[in-house]
Each structure stands twice: as C-alpha cells, then as structure tokens.
Chain A
Amino acid sequence: MQVELKGITKRFGPVVANRDVTLSVKGGEVLGLLGENGAGKSTLMNVLCGLYAQDEGEIIIDGDPVSFGGPGAAIAAGIGMVHQHFMLVPVFTVAENVVLGVEPTGRLDRLDLASARAKVTEIGEKYGLHVDPDEVIENLPVGVQQRVEIIKVLFRSADLVILDEPTAVLTPQEVEEFFGIVRSLRDAGKAIIFITHKLGEITEIADRISVLRAGEIVGEADPKTARLEDLAQMMVGRPVSFDVDKPPLEAGAPILAVQDLVVLREDDAVAVDRVSLTVRSGEIVGLAGVQGNGQTELIEALTGLRMPAAGTITYQGADITRATVRVRHRMGIAHIPEDRQRSGMIGAFTVAENMVLDTYYDDRFSRGPQIIWPKVHEQAAISATEFDVRTPSVFLRAGHLSGGNQQKLVVARELSRETKLVIAAQPTRGLDVGSVEYIHRRLVEARQEGDGVLIMSSELDEILALSDRILVMFKGRIVAEFDATAAAFDKSAIGLAMAGGAGAEVAA
C-alpha cells in the first residue's frame, strides 16, 4: 500500500493548520513525523483518517485519488489511527471497544462477542499485544489501553497505521515493548506514520523522517545519519540545548515537610503508605517511580485534591493537611497536574479564562463581584507570549489548542503566580524539545528564586537532569533516596529501586 498526500491545506477560520503539505508513505516502512507543538501534525493526520475534510489538496492511495466523506470511509480504505488522546469507551470491555463500528453479528443483529474475543486474542498473539479481552477499559493502565487502540486498528485490517504521540504516556519499559510491536507491524508489511517529540525515539524506530513546522513541511532527514541537534533545529527553527544549566545547590530552610502520610484510592486500597519527605527552599526534588506506585495520589494529597487518611503536611511551618486548594494557592503553592485535560484546564473556556482560573478573584482582575475583562485579556496575552503558548488569540477555546500548547497554558498559569513551592507532575508531557527546554529553564529559575520544587515524572532522564535529590517510590512507599551532591546519579541503581529491587536503600 502506498499513501500520498498532495498539497494538503487545512484551515480553521483564520488559522492555517496545514499549508500545501506533500507526504508519502508505503507498506513496510515507518515514517517519522516531527514537529513542534501546534505544527499541525494531528490536524494532518485527522485529515488523512477522514475526521477533517481538507480545504485543498488530495489523498492518493495506490495511485487512485480518494475522497473520504467521514472516518468510516477512511477505515474502509485501510487507514487506522491511534489518536493522541485515546478514543476508547471507558465502561466498555476491551472486546467491545475493539469491535465497535465493525461488530460481528449473528441472527437478529445479535452481537457475536465470542468471535470478537477470539479475534482479539489472535491479533494479540500475532503481534505481541497481550490484553484480556474481557477487562473493562477504565481498569487498565494507559500502556495497556494503547495496546487496545492498536488492536482496534488492526482488527479493521488497516494497512496504514497512524500513531499520534503514542509514547507520551508510556514508561521507558513500556516504550521498549511498544517499539517491538511497531517493528512487528512494519515487518508484516504495514505502513506506519509515527509522531513523537522525542528525538531519540524517532531515530531509533523510523526509516524516514519528515519535519513539519508552522503547518509546512520544512525538510526530510535520514534517521541513520541525522544528528539530534539538527533535527531539533529543523523543528523549532533555532538551536536547542539539551542540557539543563543548573548552578550549584544552595538549599535553605524546609518549605514542605510531609510526615507519615497515608492516602487511599477510591476503592480504599492504600496508595501512599506512611510517606515522609522534605523539600527545602532552593532545591529540586525528583519523585521517580513506575507509574501507579502512588505518586499520583501523593501529589493529589499535597495539592489538596485528595484528603489524606492519616499523617500531616506542613508548609512553611503551617499545617495544611486539611487546607482547601484555594488556601494552598494563596499560600504560594503551584501545581502542574499530571492530566491537563482532566484537572489542568477547562476545554470549553477560552485561553484567557483558563489563564486566570486561579486568580480571577484577585484585586487585579475583579472589582467586587465583577470581573474586569480587559485586564484579564491583557494579562493572558502577556503570559501567553511569555510562555510561548501558540494561539491565534486569547479568545480561542483552550480545547482547540494543540496538545503541547494546552500543557504550556497550564504551566503559564501556575508559574505566573507568586510561588514558594512548585509541584509539577509530568510537566513536559507531550511538549516539543524547544518547549521542554523552556519549561526546564523556568523550573530551575524557580529554584534559583528560592522556591522548593517537587517534580514527578515517569521519564527518568527528566528527573535525572533536573533534580538535586531523587526519591524513588515503589508500592506506595519511598524506598530509596539518592543525593546529587555526592556524585552523579547512579542510573542503574535508581532503575533497580524503581522496580522494587535491592537498590531500596539510602545511597547518601
């Protein structure tokens, strides 16, 4: 199968998301698609899978121009897409999600779930995608949900598989596994388009690389010979530094002290088990661990989104264990949440409204019960420029921003406040290299101003680059602590501790 995009242009009102894009991919190869946040990658792929109609240009499959009236037609033509934000029905089982839209049926329209299950298992065996077909989606970790998405595409016997930032939500181990799957798909003769911001990944998996910037193709590269620096420059149009410049540690008094904290999950299982930790002024503490070991719940308890069952949280000497989120905000705690769409912003609100969600009641923005909109818009425009949130105007619905720009919006809001403690969960998830560089710099700046910074990330490299001290969480407990002042971090020891291994000792 050979798919060509010829001169595709797609506009959203005044915004040109894709301009005259020409691209091709054929069976048995992996095309890596690079591009900064908002470059138009997802939009282009949505055109290809029939979700958007292009304004100009054509799609050619095996030499014949096609036009899709909707996603159904694209699926029938053999195009399958795994979306950046998963498209799974949370309360359905794996098998139900996989067959939705192309259900095998018996007499009287009866669903034939037995054959669906068999097919799921069969595809799983063939490509190494193991999932239990009867498991309900919402009980599955994201890594497994992703496998379901891929099975969904394969079930429709797609010949072109589009993967839009598939690794953004995966842990390093899961990424390795995932690459195995991608390779087996390629070897089975499928064409694959792979989108990511992680340059190391793309040079590892892609056969060809195309780079998109501001909606246009700006170049191609050969993954075997390309240098990461060059790729980064091609993407963002300027040189990018991959190292974090960090002056030596000058830690001050403790800002945050957590004592014997116990936090429960919804089902009353213990997520955080008697955790104690301290974050000092002028210090970045990294919270490492494989996802699902209690980091999320710990952060939620620290930021007031979840009431701890026992223990205390002390912030600058005051007990804030039961303080409300608003109180914590006003005391100078910033929170960049893990899931931007769920708890970081309101998609239906404008960019400006989202920018002041935490400060709209401030004297700066309101007089009595009335919000002074001109001030809000002014400030939002300033923050958007400062944090490089790419948006045509501050009046755009935040949900229409590209994924990475949504993330920058959240970071901009949280760091524009007066802060003493920054709690950042996956702060650079889905960001391009330029933005990652920028956000890392802001976090280091916060540290230099004497803030305490607590970073949770499933990407060990990010933690290693930023942290002065690393805590490793495993099964709800802090099982190891590593200090940067002693020597460079011992990556393998940290990895071992994350897996709950023998490294679970204080290396100080």
Chain B
Amino acid sequence: MTANPMTAVARVKTGHERRARYTGGVLVLLALFVVVVFGPGAYGDATFRLSRPGDAVVLGDLVVPAAPFIYVAASLLAFLGARQFLRGGVRWTSLSLGLGLALVVLAFLVWATAGNAFSLTGMLQATMVRAVPIALGGLAGVMCERAGVVNIAIEGMLLAGAFTGALVGSVIGGWGGLLSAVVIGGLFGFILAALVVTYRMDQIIAGVVINLFVLGLTSYVSSQVFSQYRGLNNAPVFRSWKVPLLGDIPVIGPMLFNQNLFVYGALALVALATYYLFHTRSGLRARAVGEHPRAADTLGINVYRIRYLHVTMGGMVAGFGGAWFTLGSVGRFDEDMTGGRGFIGLAAMIFGRWHPVGALGAALVFGFADSLQQKLALLGTGVPSEFLAMSPYIATIIVVAGLVGRARPPAADGKAYVKE
C-alpha cells in the first residue's frame, strides 16, 4: 500500500457547511428585504417609551432615527450573511441566524413606529401575559412527553380548566375556581393516561377524542346554560400584584414583577419542573421511562405508574393554564376561547426541545408575536390586521420547521409499553 492512512482526506463538502452557506444566503436575502421594504417608508424618528407616567423610576424615551437604523441593521445583516456564506463558520450558524432574525424584528419595529411613539414597557408586559397559557400548555406537554406519552389533549385540558374556573369561580370564588380547574385538568390527564397506558389506545386519537369531548361539552353548556344564568359565568379575576421594589425596575420590572398570580405561577412551575426533571430521583426515573421503558422496567421501576402520574400532573398544569383565560383575564367563559393555544403550547414544547425553560422561551417568542400584532393594529401601519393576526401562527411554522432543525424527542415518546 502506497498512501499513508493518516494523510488528509479528499476535500468534501459536508452537511454542516452546506447549512452554514444556506443560512448565509438567507441572511443576505433578509438584508435586501429590509432595505427594499422598510427603507423607503422610514421617515422621522421612532420613539420607544421606556417608562410610563407614574413610574417610580422614570427613564427618558429612546428615540431612534428610523432610516439610519434600518440601513445599519441591513448592513449588519448583510455582513453576518456574507461571513456565513464565505467562511461557512459551522459553530456560528445558529447564532448568526438568531441574531439576524432579531435584527429583522427590530428593523420592523422601528419601521412600524417611525414618526410615532410606542411603549416598550407595555409591550413586554403584554408579551409575558400572552405567553402564560402557551408556556403552561408547553410545560404540560413536557411533563407528559418526558415520560413517553404524547399529549395532544392539552388544548382540551386548557379549555376544561377555563370553563371550570369560570363556573366554580362564579359560585364559590376565585380560589375555589382555580383549585377546581387544576383538579379537572388532572382528571382529564388521568383519563388520557387510562386510555393510553392501560387500554393502549393510540395516543393521538385518545387526545383528539378528549379535545372534541371538552369542546362539545363546554360549548353546549355555555350556549344553553350560561346564556340563561349569567350569574354562573361571572367569576372574579385575580388582579395583578406588584412586587415591592422589583416591580419598579424600569422596562422589565412590570413584565416580571407586576403581574397576576398566573404569571408568577407559570414562572415558579417552570423553575420547579426544571429542578424536578433534571435534579431529582423521580425526574430521572420519569425521563428513563420516556426514553427506554424496558430498561426502566428491568430495574424495577414501575413504568405504568410513572406514566399515570406524569400525565396527570401534566393535566393539572394545563388546568391551571386554562384558568388563566377566565380567572386570569376576563372572568367569563366563551366558546372555544383557548383558540388553539394548547397546540401552540405543543409547538413551544418542541421549539424548547422538551425542556421547561426552553418551552417558556418559545412561549415568549409566540407571546411577543401575539402582542406585537395587537400593538401594531393600534399604530395603523397599513398592514391589514388579518395578516397581523396571522403572525403568531406564521412564527410557529417558521420556528418549528426552520429554526429548530432536528430536535430529538424522548425515544419512547408516543409508544405504548407492553410488559411481557
């Protein structure tokens, strides 16, 4: 044999390099897009309000000259893109893409606000509020899927929580309503677990059945009963409570520390679930069941019990999230008022790579898109409101299809376990 086996190999283009180039191309195109679409219409300054009248600490407004900002953003984008394209820096691919998208969003904001004023604080606060049901839905998904059960029924569980919260809340008060929403969520979780664990029904179908059942039942009761007895659909709402001092931090204070019970609850649950799943014995066992139930079984771990437990817990989280719709915002139940938030929650779970904190982060992205859409409708940008209303869903598709790439679900996710 003549050649030395250790010599450098033929130069071959690798998959990662290709992806890096592709990303570079996309970034350059985005730069063009920003220049062509946002550039011409940007006159004057965009004013971002960092404080509201009456705040303890008042910051001045952030005034951004629109046109220069947009061109600077576009050149940054082009620079990132060209760098990716030419150097194909593998490690930088995701980071560049993330930065690039953030730049596009900023440019869009500046363009939309040009010649106008816009409250950043309010926007962030609204983002948080809108992220709550999505985050809780995603968290419910994380709890179930980490133990190997796909929970399509989160939408139905949210709806059941919202309905129960409104009904019981109207009769015995907010706390009672909240508690029963959690219990009802848990009950549906338990039913799902029974269907898929004990009776080995297909997990997707079982979830769909629960969704349809809850939708039908709540719609019926709300149109037939609530319309007659309005008193049954008039629950008290949990008001927001400002954390002393922390709530006065400019810009992010109101977002994190001047909210109602549900926001604090969601943040606490995310922290708790992270600790539980990744730092406790029970969490380790749950994840083992989701990855390789047979291995867990050979070690004397009761796969069925763990699945029951976690799907029920997931249901309780979703029930809590559902109560947000009624007890946390309007105090009244409307037909199908969750409007697909449960499914977006599932998307947040995937985008967040089956991690509680990831799901929260993804929920914030969706919440941001949602609240942006609302604010922009007020600013009157000329973009039809229908398109703006679509934006959270488009964000869902782009994020799940493009950005996440191949996130890996728990290996036994969605598969029934049959003991020998």
Enumerate chain A interface residues (CB-CB to B < 8 A). Answer: 46, 49-52, 70-73, 75-76, 81, 83, 87-92, 96, 99-103, 105, 108-111, 260, 262, 264, 268, 270, 273-274, 309-310, 474-481, 500, 504-506
Chain A residues, CB < 8 A from B300: 50, 70-73, 75-76, 101
Chain B residues, CB < 8 A from A50: 300
B295 sits at the interface (CB 8 A): yes
Q: Identify the closest chain B residue to A267 (Cβ).
A: B16
Q: Identify the closest chain A residue to B289 (Cβ).
A: A89
A-B contact pairs, 23 of them (CB 8 A): A46-B420, A71-B297, A72-B301, A75-B300, A81-B298, A87-B298, A87-B299, A89-B288, A89-B291, A92-B287, A100-B301, A103-B281, A103-B284, A105-B281, A111-B280, A111-B281, A264-B12, A309-B13, A475-B5, A476-B5, A476-B9, A477-B5, A505-B1
Could you tell me if A310 and B411 are in contact, using CB atoms closer than 8 angstroms? Answer: no
Could you tell me if A71 and B298 are in contact, using CB atoms closer than 8 angstroms? Answer: yes
Chain A residues, CB < 8 A from B295: 87-89, 100
Q: How far is the CA of A424 from the CA of B275 in the complex (A)?
A: 48
B6 sits at the interface (CB 8 A): yes
Could you tell me if A310 and B12 are in contact, using CB atoms closer than 8 angstroms? Answer: yes
Contact status of A87 and B12, CB under 8 A, knowing A475-B6, A478-B1: no
Q: How far is the CA of A423 from the CA of B14 in the complex (A)?
A: 27
B292 sits at the interface (CB 8 A): yes
Chain B residues, CB < 8 A from A309: 12-14
Chain B residues, CB < 8 A from A260: 10
Could you tell me if A273 and B9 are in contact, using CB atoms closer than 8 angstroms? Answer: yes
Chain B residues, CB < 8 A from A273: 5, 9-10
Could you tell me if A504 and B5 are in contact, using CB atoms closer than 8 angstroms? Answer: yes
B285 sits at the interface (CB 8 A): yes
Q: How far is the CA of A73 from the CA of B411 in the complex (A)?
A: 27
Could you tell me if A91 and B5 are in contact, using CB atoms closer than 8 angstroms? Answer: no
In the A-B complex, the 3 residue pairs with the smallest Cβ-Cβ separation, listed nearest first, are A72-B300, A101-B299, A268-B14
Contact status of A264 and B301, CB under 8 A, knowing A103-B281, A475-B5: no
Enumerate chain B interface residues (CB-CB to A < 8 A). Answer: 1, 3, 5-6, 9-10, 12-17, 279-285, 287-288, 291-292, 294-301, 408, 411, 420
Q: How far is the CA of A100 from the CA of B284 in the complex (A)?
A: 7
Q: How far is the CA of A475 from the CA of B3 in the complex (A)?
A: 13
Chain A residues, CB < 8 A from B281: 103, 105, 109-111
Other-chain residue from B5, B284, B298 in contact with A51 (beta carbon distance below 8 A):
B298
Could you tell me if B411 and A91 are in contact, using CB atoms closer than 8 angstroms? Answer: yes
Contact status of A51 and B420, CB under 8 A, knowing A75-B299, A89-B292: yes
Q: How far is the CA of A310 from the CA of B1 in the complex (A)?
A: 21
**Most interface-central of A105, A273, A474, A479 (chain B CB within 10 A):** A273
Could you tell me if B15 and A268 are in contact, using CB atoms closer than 8 angstroms? Answer: yes
Contact status of A108 and B280, CB under 8 A, knowing A81-B298, A87-B295: yes
Chain A residues, CB < 8 A from B420: 46, 51-52
Q: Identify the closest chain B residue to A474 (Cβ).
A: B5
Chain B residues, CB < 8 A from A477: 3, 5
Q: How far is the CA of A274 from the CA of B292 in the complex (A)?
A: 38
Could you tell me if A479 and B282 are in contact, using CB atoms closer than 8 angstroms? Answer: no
Could you tell me if A262 and B292 are in contact, using CB atoms closer than 8 angstroms? Answer: no
Chain A residues, CB < 8 A from B301: 72, 100-101
Q: How far is the CA of A92 from the CA of B299 in the complex (A)?
A: 15
User: What distance in Å separates the Cβ of B96 from its nearest Cβ neighbour in chain A?
Assistant: 19
Q: How far is the CA of A83 from the CA of B295 in the complex (A)?
A: 10
Chain A residues, CB < 8 A from B280: 105, 108-111
Contact status of A268 and B16, CB under 8 A, knowing A89-B291, A105-B281: yes
Other-chain residue from A87, A111, A500 in contact with B284 (beta carbon distance below 8 A):
A111
User: What distance in Å separates the Cβ of A297 from its nearest Cβ neighbour in chain B?
Assistant: 13
**Most interface-central of A103, A260, A506 (chain B CB within 10 A):** A103
Chain A residues, CB < 8 A from B5: 273, 474-477, 479, 500, 504
Q: How far is the CA of A500 from the CA of B4 in the complex (A)?
A: 11
Contact status of A101 and B1, CB under 8 A, knowing A51-B420, A75-B300: no
Chain A residues, CB < 8 A from B408: 91
Q: How far is the CA of A91 from the CA of B5 in the complex (A)?
A: 33
Other-chain residue from A92, A102, A105, A506 in contact with B288 (beta carbon distance below 8 A):
A92
Q: A262-B12, A264-B15 are in contact. List 20 more A-B contacts (CB 8 A).
A: A87-B292, A89-B291, A89-B292, A90-B292, A100-B301, A101-B299, A105-B280, A108-B280, A109-B282, A111-B280, A262-B9, A262-B10, A268-B15, A270-B9, A273-B5, A310-B12, A475-B6, A477-B5, A480-B1, A504-B5
Chain A residues, CB < 8 A from B282: 109
Q: How far is the CA of A136 from the CA of B287 in the complex (A)?
A: 15
Other-chain residue from A111, A270, A274, A476 in contact with B279 (beta carbon distance below 8 A):
A111
Chain A residues, CB < 8 A from B296: 89, 100-101
Q: Identify the closest chain A residue to B410 (Cβ).
A: A91
Other-chain residue from B10, B16, B291, B298 in contact with A310 (beta carbon distance below 8 A):
B10
Chain B residues, CB < 8 A from A75: 299-300
Q: How far is the CA of A182 from the CA of B288 in the complex (A)?
A: 28
Q: How far is the CA of A310 from the CA of B301 in the complex (A)?
A: 48
Q: How far is the CA of A51 from the CA of B284 in the complex (A)?
A: 22
Q: How far is the CA of A105 from the CA of B285 in the complex (A)?
A: 13
**Most interface-central of B13, B16, B292 (chain A CB within 10 A):** B292
Chain A residues, CB < 8 A from B292: 87-90
**Most interface-central of B279, B280, B291, B299 (chain A CB within 10 A):** B299
Other-chain residue from A46, A100, A274, A479 in contact with B299 (beta carbon distance below 8 A):
A100
User: What distance in Å separates the Cβ of A292 from its nearest Cβ neighbour in chain B?
Assistant: 14
Could you tell me if A274 and B15 are in contact, using CB atoms closer than 8 angstroms? Answer: no
Could you tell me if A504 and B294 are in contact, using CB atoms closer than 8 angstroms? Answer: no
Contact status of A274 and B1, CB under 8 A, knowing A81-B298, A91-B411, A110-B280: no
User: What distance in Å separates the Cβ of B124 from its nearest Cβ neighbour in chain A?
Assistant: 33
Chain A residues, CB < 8 A from B16: 268
Could you tell me if A100 and B285 are in contact, using CB atoms closer than 8 angstroms? Answer: yes
Chain B residues, CB < 8 A from A49: 298
Q: Identify the closest chain B residue to A112 (Cβ).
A: B281
**Most interface-central of A108, A109, A264 (chain B CB within 10 A):** A109
